[in-house]
């Protein structure tokens, strides 16, 4: 069933959706980062349906979503001082913390690891669903494995409809890229996936922070990833993509033109509004992610833009990169994967 709660949550429908969760079904629901596919995290069978719907590898663990900080101790243990400070400062919000798990969380959720990823979303619909279901909700991003995450229902409806029992539409997600994932190792918060909460913000609270070395690079074949999600293909449309970032704007236009020509113009460019005319492209060949230097708009629009560009069916999608700073770092982390490291950079 499809439910539109963009303007207002319908309490009768909320009851129906929460009953589905309690009865072991899976649903699509909004959070402030991206849409999730959720199931009762304590029900292995239900969680299995998520892996099947996404075609997700079973060794990639899920995030468990709670509505309240007080619930954390029901599924995690041995919480350290640094971890508690992170919880107090960044939850609820676009922030996921890896903690030592309690046995109550089934193996399928954590892919057999002795840790569990926990997030408390801020989005009111997400919190309502978790609260009234009365169970923790395991949820990965709502997309077929490897594809860009869903930030609006119309983008993902086709690929997931029929595989879930309910779709809850809360409109476009506010942030547009997934939560920052952090694990505390030897008392230092280590960012395993960058997001809206930046390393600088974490440093400001804890006084230290590290960024996992695999965030922007590729893993060696035999290396064990701190976060299993790092080793998989991600955020990729069918059309092959190239990422272009030049620090200087004139360089940026020059190289974009050069690459457009290289593909005889059979490209779609995803870029900032101001560049559309400079590149002499029309709406069929140019998809705007917002105004120049507005990283919030860029983050909000990028996954949807990738899906839109893919539908046009060109030989190449050329994506304008951003400065790797703050939210820009999280954006570039996604795009480098999207482009499978086909990245032209001039500093």
288 binds, options Mg ion, ligand TXA, none, Cβ within 5 to 8 A by partner type: none
Six-digit token pair at 222? 């035999």
Contacted by 60, from Mg ion, ligand TXA, none: CB < 5 to 8 Å by type: ligand TXA
Closer residue to ligand TXA in complex, CB, 105/268: 105
Q: Which of 40, 179, 252, 304 binds ligand TXA (CB under 6 A)?
A: 179
Note whether 39 binds ligand TXA by CB under 6 A: no
| Interface pattern 118-147 for ligand TXA (x via CB under 6 A) | -x-------------------xxx------
Contact residues for 77 (Cβ-Cβ < 8 A; gap 6+): 99, 100, 101, 102
Binding of residue 181 to ligand TXA (CB under 6 A): yes
Q: Give first-to-last CA distance, the chain, whole Å.
A: 50
Length, in residues, of the chain: 347
Residue of 40, 60, 288, 338 interacting with ligand TXA (CB under 6 A): 60
Partner whose footprint covers residue 252, from ligand TXA, Mg ion, none (CB < 5 to 8 Å by kind):
none
**Residue 176 vs 271, nearer CB to ligand TXA:** 176
Q: What are the phi and psi torsion angles at 101 (to 5°)?
A: -85, 160
Residues sharing a CB contact under 8 Å with residue 67, sequence separation 6 or more, in sequence order: 120, 127, 130, 131
Least distance from C-beta 111 to ligand TXA, angstroms?
A: 7
| Structure-derived torsion over alpha carbons of residues 210, 213, 215, 219, reported in degrees to the nearest 10 | -150
Residue 229 sits in the site that holds ligand TXA (CB under 6 A): yes
Q: How far is the CB of 100 from ligand TXA (least distance, A)?
A: 10
* Cβ(274)–Cβ(291) below 8 Å: yes
By beta-carbon proximity to Mg ion, the closer residue of 174 and 234 is: 234
Partner whose footprint covers residue 31, from ligand TXA, Mg ion, none (CB < 5 to 8 Å by kind):
ligand TXA
Q: Which residues contact 217 (CB under 8 A, 6 or more apart)?
A: none
**What residues between 182 and 211 interact with ligand TXA by CB under 6 A?**
192-193
Rounded Cα distance, 102 and 115, in Å = 8
Q: Which two tokens stand for residue 274?
A: 């101001």
In the complex, minimum distance from the CB of residue 80 to ligand TXA, in angstroms, rounded to a whole number = 16
Reference 305, options 138, 151, 190; nearest CA is 151
Beta bridge partners of 287: 270
List residues near Mg ion by CB under 5 A. Answer: 141
* 98 binds ligand TXA per the rule CB under 6 A: yes
The correct pick among 18, 28, 34, 91 for binding ligand TXA (CB under 6 A) is: 34
User: Site for ligand TXA (CB under 6 A): which residue of 26, 63, 129, 137?
Assistant: 63
237 binds ligand TXA (CB under 6 A): no
Q: CB neighbours of 56 closer than 8 A, spacing ≥ 6? A: 50, 140, 145
Task: Determine the Cα–Cα distance for residues 212 and 183; give it in Å rounded to an integer.
Answer: 10
Residue 87 interacts with, from Mg ion, ligand TXA, none (CB under 5-8 Å by kind): none
Alpha-carbon gap, residue 343 to 331, rounded angstroms: 14
Dihedral (Cα; 102, 106, 107, 108), 10-degree rounding:
-140
- Near ligand TXA in 255-314, by CB under 6 A: none
- What H or E segment, with its residue span, contains residue 245? strand 241-246
> Interface with ligand TXA by CB under 6 A: which residues?
31, 33-34, 36, 60-63, 96, 98, 110, 113, 115-117, 119, 139-141, 178-179, 181, 192-193, 227-229
């Amino acid at each position: 069933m499809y439910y539109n709660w963009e303007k207002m949550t319908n309490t009768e429908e909320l009851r129906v959706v929460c009953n589905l969760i309690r009865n072991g079904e899976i649903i699509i629901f909004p959070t402030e980062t991206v849409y999730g596919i959720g199931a009762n995290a304590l029900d292995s069978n239900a969680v299995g349906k998520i892996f099947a719907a996404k075609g997700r590898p079973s060794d990639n663990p899920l995030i468990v979503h709670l509505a309240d900080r007080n619930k954390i101790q029901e599924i995690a243990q041995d919480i350290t001082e640094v971890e508690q400070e992170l919880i107090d400062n960044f939850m609820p919000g676009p922030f996921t913390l890896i903690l030592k798990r309690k046995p109550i969380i089934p193996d399928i959720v954590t892919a057999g690891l002795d840790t569990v990823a926990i997030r408390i979303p801020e989005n009111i619909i997400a919190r309502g669903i978790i609260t009234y279901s009365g169970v923790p909700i395991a949820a990965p991003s709502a997309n077929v494995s490897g594809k860009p995450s869903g930030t609006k229902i119309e983008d993902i409806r086709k690929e997931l409809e029929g595989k879930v029992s309910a779709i809850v539409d809360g409109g476009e997600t506010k942030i547009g890229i997934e939560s920052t994932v952090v694990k505390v190792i030897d008392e230092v918060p280590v960012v395993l996936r960058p997001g809206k909460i930046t390393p600088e913000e974490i440093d400001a609270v804890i006084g230290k922070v590290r960024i996992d070395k695999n965030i922007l690079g590729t893993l060696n074949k035999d290396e064990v990833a701190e976060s299993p999600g790092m080793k998989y293909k991600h955020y990729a449309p069918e059309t092959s993509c190239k990422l272009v970032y030049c620090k200087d704007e004139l360089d940026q236009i020059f190289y974009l033109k050069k690459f457009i020509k290289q593909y005889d113009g059979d490209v779609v460019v995803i870029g900032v509004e101001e560049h559309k005319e400079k590149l002499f492209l029309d709406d069929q060949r140019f998809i705007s992610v917002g105004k120049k230097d507005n990283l919030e708009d860029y983050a909000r629009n990028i996954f949807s833009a990738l899906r839109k560009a893919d539908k046009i069916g060109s030989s190449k999608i050329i994506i304008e990169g951003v400065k790797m700073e703050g939210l820009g770092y999280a954006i570039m982390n996604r795009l480098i994967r999207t482009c499978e490291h086909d990245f032209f950079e001039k500093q």
